[in-house]
Structures are given as C-alpha cells and as structure tokens.
Amino acid sequence: MNRIRHILPLCWILFLVVSLYACKETIDIDTDNAPERLIIYGTYSNEVKRHSIRLTRSTGYFETTPPRGVSGAVVTLHSGDKSIELYELLTEPGTYLMDTARKGIEGQAYRLHVAVDFDGDGETEEFEASSYLPYAAQLDSIAFRKVTLINDMIEIKLYGLLPDNEENYFSLHASRNGRLINDSLDGYFIISDEHLGKKEFDGVSCFYLNQKNEETLVQPGDVIELTVDVINKDYADFLSHAQSEAEGSIPFFGGPPANVETNFRSLYNPGQVPVSGFFAAYARSTVTRAYE
C-alpha cells in the first residue's frame, strides 16, 4: 500500500511534464495586418496660449519609432458661428497650431473638424468631435504636512471651491520649481466631486512626496504649484482607459490591448479610415506656495 502511495504522485509529475512538453508550440502572431488608424488628439482650455492639435498615423504594437505626423489636413475649431483655423507647423509635420494666443470661454461648447486625405486615394475624409468647456475651480491655497508613518512624506492638501452647477471631474498635477512631478499618463490623479461629498476642496490630500526620492524631495524655499483641470466625464473615462491600457493586463495573459474609446465620429469617410484619439476642452486653475 505504501508503495502505491509513492507511485501515484510520481505518475502525476510525469503526466504534468509530458503535458507541458506536448503543449510547447510556436505561435506566430501577425501584428502588421491591422489597417493604419488616424490618431487625432488635442485640447482647448481657458488658458491664453496657442493651442495645438496633433494628427498622426498609428504604428504596430511592437514598433519603437515615434508615430508619423499627418500633413495636409484642414483643422478648424468652431464655437457657435465663430471658427478658428489651425495651421500646420513646417518644422513639425502633423502638428496644427493656432495663429495667435487665444483662450476658451468657460460654459461654451467647442467642435473640432478635421478634413484630410489620410489614405491618399484622392478623396478627403472628414471627422469631428465636440467638447464642453466647464467652469474652473476657485482655488484658495495649499498646505503641507509631514507624514512619517511609513516613509518620510510631505502631504499636499488643497483648499478651494468647486463649480456648483454641474457634475465635474478633476485632473490634478503638481510641480516643484516649475518642473512637473506627475508628468506622465500613469501619474495622472483623477477624482470626481461625487467622491468629495461636497462642492469644495476642504483640505483634500492630493499628493504625497517621498522625501527619500530625489525626484520628489522638497527643500525650504522650493515653490510648489498645484494645478487643477476641471474636465468632463467622457475625457476622464478616456484618460482612465488609456492608463489601464498603458499599464497592461493583470495577469500578464489576461487579455489583449484594446483601442481606447474616442469621441471622434466620421462625417464623410469613403475609404472607411479608422479613427482614434480625443478632443477635450477643460478649465485650468493653479495655486502656488513656497515650502518652509
């Protein structure tokens, strides 16, 4: 009987080894057959500056080269009966810039229209996206607090009032001496006023700066700036989805990457050119304080 007990585990081990060996097979995945996509991305805000829109071609999943810009497009921003045409930068193909510094008006809707012969068949495709520019948050101040429970941290707390006439989402950014601390997509901090429970930032904890990390080390005299972008739910969803795709599947083999949803629609598209990207209007406000 004891001999049988020793033989059974051994049989299971041999079966597992044979099964794994039998499953060893090379699978070639062709990632080059997907049609090129037109990628349109840009924003318009209440800041006075030369806003820009970027048009590029999609690249293969394993490509390491930057996406190519799309030239020759007619890019126009509309609001009511007014329109602004953007002009392509000669030094940066695919980047379309306003001719002068302008600012968006809070409480207005904006419509971006793009016309381009993307596939080179002689016919122009037309795409459009709309976005509402919300009202800005009225920021009052920020405060600092040392936290030493786990690591040496500096907590940044925010005070101010929120727009009270609509549902809003907020994208928060922090900088030290003019240099952004969360300057990449995975570092974006997005919250909704629903989670705040009231229409104000009442000492809300926004960032924890690790004082053992040189990138986030704060010293007396450093100027900390906190920026709050009031954004729409669809743009918040777009950023959240983009973050998830950039981070990859968990577990590793959980699921394939997916195209992040876009707010662009085809108006005229004879070649059935696929389009991705996003156009968003937002309201920005900032507050600064020197660390003591």
Instruction: Note whether 94 and 173 are same-domain residues.
Output: no
Instruction: Note whether 224 and 142 are same-domain residues.
Output: yes
Which of 213, 232, 251 is the endpoint of a domain?
232
Kindly list the distances between the CA atom of residue 256 and the CA atoms of 2, 31, 242, 250, 278, in Å, as whole numbers in the listed order: 48, 12, 14, 11, 21
3-state secondary structure of 107: coil
Question: What pLDDT score does 91 carry?
Answer: 94
| Domain contains 287 | no
Q: How far apart are CA 230 and CA 184, in angstroms?
A: 18
For residue 277, give its domain range. 38-134+259-282
| Domain contains 226 | yes
Q: How far apart are CA 212 and CA 6, in angstroms?
A: 54
Among 77-86, 138-147, 179-188, the minimum mean pLDDT is found in: 179-188
Question: What pLDDT score does 287 carry?
Answer: 96
| Domain contains 251 | no
Q: Which residues of 186-207 are buried (b: 16+ CB within 10 A; e: fewer)?
A: eebebbebeeeeeebbeebebb
Residue 259: pLDDT over 80: no
| Domain contains 167 | yes
How remote is the C-alpha of 168 from its chain's centroid?
17
| Domain contains 11 | no
Q: How far apart are CA 283 and CA 40, in angstroms?
A: 21
What's the predicted TM-score (pTM) here? 0.81
| Domain contains 30 | no
Q: What is the pLDDT of residues 6-43, one digit of tens each?
A: 444 444 444 434 444 444 444 444 555 568 999 999 99
Proportion of the chain above pLDDT 90, given as a percent: 56
Instruction: Note whether 74 and 112 are same-domain residues.
Output: yes
Domain count for the chain, please give it. 2
Residue 220 is given by DSSP the state T
Asked if residues 44 and 111 have their Cβ atoms less than 8 Å apart, the reply is no
Q: How far apart are CA 222 and CA 210, in angstroms?
A: 15
Residue 257: pLDDT over 60: no
Among 47-51, 97-101, 178-182, 186-190, the minimum mean pLDDT is found in: 186-190
Instruction: Note whether 159 and 125 are same-domain residues.
Output: no
Question: What pLDDT score does 250 carry?
Answer: 46
Residue that wins the pLDDT comparison between 193 and 76? 76
Q: What is the pLDDT of residues 111-125, one digit of tens each?
A: 999 999 999 999 999
Instruction: Note whether 160 and 186 are same-domain residues.
Output: yes
| Domain contains 87 | yes
Question: Residue 55 maps to which CATH number?
Answer: 2.60.40
Instruction: Note whether 147 and 209 are same-domain residues.
Output: yes
Instruction: Note whether 63 and 202 are same-domain residues.
Output: no
Question: What pLDDT score does 141 carry?
Answer: 96
Instruction: Note whether 175 and 124 are same-domain residues.
Output: no
What tokens appear for 200 in the block?
């104000």
Instruction: Note whether 107 and 73 are same-domain residues.
Output: yes
Q: What is the pLDDT of residues 186-210, one digit of tens each?
A: 667 788 877 776 778 899 888 889 8
Q: Which band of pLDDT confidence, cut at 50, 70 and 90, is reported for residue 87?
A: very high
Instruction: Note whether 220 and 147 are same-domain residues.
Output: yes
Instruction: Note whether 43 and 128 are same-domain residues.
Output: yes
- Count CB-CB contacts under 10 A for residue 257: 11
Q: Average pLDDT, whole number, for the chain?
A: 83
Q: Name the residue among 284, 245, 281, 285 with its Cα closest to residue 53.
A: 281
| Domain contains 193 | yes
Instruction: Note whether 220 and 193 are same-domain residues.
Output: yes
